[in-house]
Amino acid sequence: MTDTPVVVLNGARQVGKSTLVTDLLHLSGRVEVMTLDHEPTLRAASSDPRTFVERSVDTLVIDEAQLEPRLFRAVKAAVDTDRRPGRFVLTGSARLLSVPEMADALVGRVEVIELWPFSEIELAGSRSSVVDVIERSPDAIVVSRAVRRKDLAELVVRGGFPEAVSRTPGRRRAWFDAYASTSVTRVVNQIADLERVAEIPRLLRLLAARSAEELNVAKLASEFGWGARTIDSYLAQLSSAFVLQLLPAWSANLSSKVVHRPKIHLLDTGLCAALCGLTAERLMEAPERFGRLLETFVVMELRKQSSWSETQPALWHFRDRGGAEVDIVLEYPDGRVVAIEVKSGATPSHADARGLRLLRDRLGDRFHHGYLATTAPEAHPLEDRLSAIPVTAFWNHDG
């Protein structure tokens, strides 16, 4: 806000966008907040967008700006006549840059910040980011830590939504049920003209059951009973609403045998567990599901931490047709790669690091480090640029 005319705060419903904007009101200057979720306000914005944004304030905050896309042209016109930084803050529960009107109108005038549910390192009160620590010194997180599977299971089913974090387990389930049936459906209905919006909770349950699996649209369509093109359309809207996170496949031209399908991850493991009817106790009794939800938990933790990191790595996954795979590939702007394999077991085997070795051997000097993250407390080097670490190292480290 000190150097950019328009700041966009994007994120799923209930991640804390409005709370953060309220905190901004303590900044100096005159600030006005207009919420398009309020029907009379939305009518005013729709009837005369230009007059709506021309206010005698230092900063105009427009909450849920995706509800009236014509405002973006009006904001552009206002900024073109007065490019003072911090003039507008727009929040949205959908990816505003995917709205054509905004992408066309505000290019070069806007900075987009994505807000996610709480990360574990954030809840611990730290401002560091493990992706920066790894980039500087990959051995810094190779430290033994106490790990209890029960504690991990409770973290997974709690997730990071502020409202869910503050609730007891029983009340948390009710909140997640309402979120899936009401909040998600409402956002998707606002941004797209879809015929079967009422089916979204059922689709979400199907996606939650496939957490950390590769996306196979044809198979998903067959199981759901819809056509592949319809499923594709709904997945696109769930992604735009930040609920569905598709982790793209990484290849770097290693081989023509690389699998290119993205992996399915939902925004939050607490939501995912609730959709699957899983408590912490039931999760511990289902090792395969525990493993996949733990992988999603780590993916989202690293995505959250990357959003405020100095290094800003891109996140991918890797698998070739020979079966070698890596759950998470961090690619830094300078081309270096960090590979992470997540296992819910406490007794890792030599085979668990197969994908890490493949990437190391093929990438040579580009390969920065590989981690086999497990629920064992011990951390130790495995071999050249490969280490075993407790999975908690990604949010409990000394860097």
State the pLDDT at residue 98.
Answer: 67
Average pLDDT of span 332-360? 94
Considering only 183-187, 277-281, 282-286, which range has the smallest mean pLDDT?
183-187
For 101-153, what is the HEC assignment? Answer: HHHHHHCCCEEEEECCCCCHHHHCCCCCCHHHHHHHCHHHHCCCCCCCHHHHH
- The domain limits of the chain are 6-114, 120-394
Answer for the pair 391, 373: CB distance below 8 angstroms, yes or no.
yes
Residue 150's CB is within 10 A of a number of other CB atoms, namely 11
State the pLDDT at residue 255.
Answer: 58
23 vs 7, which has greater pLDDT?
7
How many percent of the chain have pLDDT more than 70?
95
pLDDT at 103 over 70: no
State the pLDDT at residue 383.
Answer: 94
State the pLDDT at residue 35.
Answer: 92
State the pLDDT at residue 48.
Answer: 95
Average pLDDT of span 377-386? 95
State the pLDDT at residue 281.
Answer: 95
Say which DSSP state 262 is in.
P
pLDDT at 224 over 60: yes
Q: What is d(CA 284, CA 345) in angstroms, rounded to the nearest whole number?
A: 11
pLDDT at 186 over 90: no
Residue 299's CB is within 10 A of a number of other CB atoms, namely 23
Average pLDDT of span 223-237? 90
State the pLDDT at residue 296.
Answer: 98
Q: Phi and psi at residue 375, in whole multiples of 5°?
A: -90, 10
Model pLDDT for residues 10-45, shown as the tens digit of each residue: 999 999 998 888 887 776 688 899 999 899 999 999
Average predicted confidence (pLDDT) for the chain? 90
Average pLDDT of span 144-154? 92
Average pLDDT of span 143-147? 90
CATH code that applies to domain 6-114: 3.40.50.300
Model pLDDT for residues 297-341, shown as the tens digit of each residue: 999 999 999 999 999 999 999 998 888 899 999 999 999 999 999
State the pLDDT at residue 16.
Answer: 92
Q: What is d(CA 228, CA 150) in angstroms, rounded to the nearest whole number?
A: 39
Helix, strand or coil for residue 296?
helix
Considering only 26-30, 127-131, 173-177, 213-217, which range has the smallest mean pLDDT?
26-30
pLDDT band (50, 70, 90) for residue 96:
confident
Average pLDDT of span 43-49? 95
State the pLDDT at residue 260.
Answer: 86
Q: Which amino acid is at 238?
A: L
